[in-house]
Amino acid sequence: MPGGAARIPISPRELSVSNCENAHAMRRKLLFSVPAVAVLAVLAAAITHRPEIPGGRIVVHFTAGLSGVLDPCGCDPSERGGLARRLSVISDARAADASHVFVDAGDFIGIPTIEGFDRKDNPGFLSPNKRRFCEIKMDALMKGFGFLGIDAICPGEADFMLGQSFLREWGRSLPFVSSNVVYANSGNPVFRPYRVKVIGRGRFLGIPYGGVRVGIFALTFESAKLKHVKEDINDILSLPVITAAVGTIRELTGPEGCTVIICLFHGTRGQAEMLLSQVKDIDLLIVGHEWQPEDQKPQMGRTLIAGVPARGMAVGEASLKLSPSKTTAGGTVRLIPLDPSQKEHEAGLAILREFREKVRSASLEPDEQADAGGRFAGSGKCARCHEEESAQWSGTSHSRAYSALAARGQDADPECLQCHTTGYGLVGGFAKPSDSPLLAGVGCEVCHGPSAKHVEEKEKIEAEGRIKPPVRDAHRKRPLFKICTSCHTPQRDRFFERNSELRFKRIKHR
Ligand code: HEC
Ligand code: HEC
Ligand code: HEC
Ligand code: HEC
């Protein structure tokens, strides 16, 4: 399926998982549905002719810790990552090379904090509109996996934050695997324990034969807390990894006939090394948690270890060399950075467009608004009396911050609105695209506080000719510097702290 054609599956069910098979089912097919003559012919062919694995190696692309990030937001033009770039790298590799495996080692779901949707006293709380938003966003992420025909996904502890039903629904079409995540009450596995992908298989009389059987299994380190949402009836937990690994590897190297074993390990590098000190038969282990640059020491025993920076900023690539007996003989690991020079796949852009459209039509207003301490008037109300300040402000991009979102089709996205409008998430603040244009953009009241009362008082003074009555308002005379860094975070504006003096000068009115 991957390659040039950009058909985007519409619902989870519509995606189909191909080219991985269960060995038992295969053998049953061979025994019962094919005449014995053909079986013999196949065997003869398999003995005399082995299909070649291109380059004598298997290429594994992997992601981990995507944390719900779909796309670079555009705040910092040098930002890396994004679904469309990821799709382009991986789908090109899959189209060019049949010996290709693509896997994810967990924590693909991430729940952003959004002003107006979170409860300060209950950080894990998902308001109805925030849940809806996160589901729309994570559906887009999962579609990316589906488009690439991902071979296996190891759910991490964060991936249960939208509830088990979210994973169950997507599990109809995406290959979640885990050898050690079980339901607490029954001990039954939540996902299938492993997948087998056959690479470099030949065909004779239409019947597949030969090839390298690659077993992929997944472990979630037991101390990783599996997060729950209230509506999940059954608790889940993760069993000790060593026992689970030993049992699964026995199955893969035995009845399943796998000669290459890949482990998706949702734990840290240190926890992985603990596992590998006792379990030797893994060819490639992908570390899913807390990647550090110094983690890139690739080998332990015969096992190649690999990780990838979080938030989808790069794609990991491991190249496993195959020996003539089809087992692995070492390999190499590298990171492919998804910087702005990387091209974007049309299918990824289409998924993003669909995501933005869905967010727009869901019209998700903040549903946990906090008191603003006053009423907002809107920047347009100030100009009459503060001509100079207003003219200066109009010259800064603060005044145009909302149109920057509109230009990207994201002017209804709550995650963006919280920093690109005035009073978002506060009572009386900007809440939806049809709201007062006076509150669009980073207006006067972002820095000076809600000032409707100030306006009314001053108008009254004008009318009555009185001088300087006290003004009790949320209105601030001098904004605090910490207001700036609530939006100019290191992630959105890398050099703000370093250049703060210059930046401050730019917004001062005189
Ligand atoms: C935490 C606050 C924050 C959030 C959330 C945020 N932005 Fe920004 N955005 C900023 C800041 C601060 C800047 C200015 C950065 C600078 O000047 O270096 C900016 C700049 C931008 C720019 C550059 C505009 C230009 O004139 O070049 C774009 C585009 C943008 N943001 C889009 C988005 C989108 C789309 C989202 C949502 C996915 C988003 N932002 C979410 C804070 C935020
Ligand atoms: C009807 C005229 C009028 C309007 C409208 C008005 N102001 Fe003022 N504002 C004044 C006057 C007069 C002063 C000077 C008050 C003083 O010196 O006490 C002032 C002072 C200020 C100050 C300086 C600190 C202070 O409070 O003395 C800030 C900040 C300010 N205004 C912000 C705003 C903002 C923001 C708006 C729009 C939401 C606004 N003003 C609308 C008349 C107005
Ligand atoms: C990004 C934050 C920010 C925004 C947005 C902003 N201001 Fe200010 N404003 C400041 C700061 C900072 C000061 C104090 C200036 C100083 O330290 O000299 C100030 C001071 C003022 C004062 C006091 C007199 C002065 O000029 O020093 C007025 C009046 C004022 N602002 C009005 C406005 C109006 C009207 C708007 C919208 C058109 C606005 N401000 C938008 C940050 C902001
Ligand atoms: C509500 C969020 C928010 C707050 C608070 C905020 N900013 Fe910004 N700021 C933005 C966004 C968003 C942009 C980029 C707008 C765009 O380019 O579309 C921006 C842009 C800027 C720029 C570039 C302006 C230009 O025209 O080149 C400067 C400088 C800046 N901010 C300084 C500050 C300072 C200093 C403060 C605190 C006094 C502050 N900002 C507070 C969101 C915020």
In the chain, domain spans: 12-356, 370-507
Nearest alpha carbon to residue 166 among 178, 182, 180, 155 = 155
CA of 380 to the centre of ligand 3 (A): 14
Whether 509 lines ligand 3, by a CB cut-off of 6 Å, is yes
User: H/E element holding 363?
Assistant: none
Residues with CB under 6 A from ligand 4: 396-398, 400-401, 404, 419-420, 442, 446-447, 479, 483-484, 486-488, 503-504, 506-507
CA of 454 to the centre of ligand 3 (A): 14
- Output DSSP code: residue 314: E
Q: Are 130 and 418 in contact (CB under 8 A)?
A: no
Q: Which atom of ligand 2 is closest in space to residue 382's alpha carbon?
A: 37
Q: Tell me the ligand closest to 449's alpha carbon.
A: 2
Token readout for 62 is 């992997």
Q: Tell me the ligand closest to 504's alpha carbon.
A: 4
Write down the architecture of domain 12-356 according to CATH: 4-Layer Sandwich (3.60)
CA of 466 to the centre of ligand 2 (A): 15
Whether 508 lines ligand 3, by a CB cut-off of 6 Å, is yes
Token readout for 129 is 């509109």
370-507 folds as: Flavocytochrome C3; Chain A, domain 2 (1.10.1130)
CA of 435 to the centre of ligand 1 (A): 20
173, 256, 279, 412, 483 from 212: Cα distances, Å: 24, 11, 22, 49, 58
Helix pair 36-48, 23-33: axis angle to 10 deg:
130
Which residues are bridge partners to 183 per DSSP? 236
Q: Are 206 and 29 in contact (CB under 8 A)?
A: no
Quickly count: other Cβ atoms within 10 Å of residue 166's Cβ: 21
* Cα angle, residue 506 at apex, residues 491 and 509 outer, rounded to 5°: 130
Pocket test for ligand 4, best of 396, 398, 477 (most atoms within 8 A of CB): 398
CA of 467 to the centre of ligand 2 (A): 13
| Angstrom distance (rounded) from CA 147 to CA 246 | 32
Query: Which residue has the CA at smallest separation from atom 35 of ligand 2?
Result: 444
| Angstrom distance (rounded) from CA 403 to CA 411 | 8
Helix pair 128-147, 164-171: axis angle to 10 deg:
30
Residue 82 is predicted with a pLDDT of 96
88, 106, 135, 201, 432 from 352: Cα distances, Å: 14, 21, 14, 35, 20
List of long-range contacts for 408-412, beta carbons under 8 Å, 24+ apart = 408/74, 409/353, 409/356, 409/357, 409/360, 410/356, 410/359, 412/356, 412/359, 412/360, 412/363, 412/364
Residue 463 is predicted with a pLDDT of 86
Q: Tell me the ligand closest to 407's alpha carbon.
A: 1
Q: What does the pLDDT profile of the chain (510 residues) look like in tens digits? A: 343 344 444 344 433 333 344 545 545 554 555 566 766 665 665 555 555 676 788 999 999 999 999 999 889 888 899 999 999 999 999 888 878 999 999 999 999 999 999 988 887 788 999 999 999 999 999 999 999 999 999 999 889 889 889 999 999 999 999 999 998 889 999 999 999 999 988 777 888 877 899 999 999 987 656 766 666 767 888 999 999 999 999 999 999 999 999 999 999 999 999 999 999 999 999 999 878 776 667 788 889 999 999 999 999 999 999 888 777 888 999 999 999 999 999 999 999 999 999 999 999 999 999 999 999 999 999 999 999 999 999 999 999 999 999 999 999 999 999 999 999 999 999 999 888 899 999 999 999 999 999 999 899 888 887 665 555 566 777 777 788 999 999 888 888 988 888 888 898 898
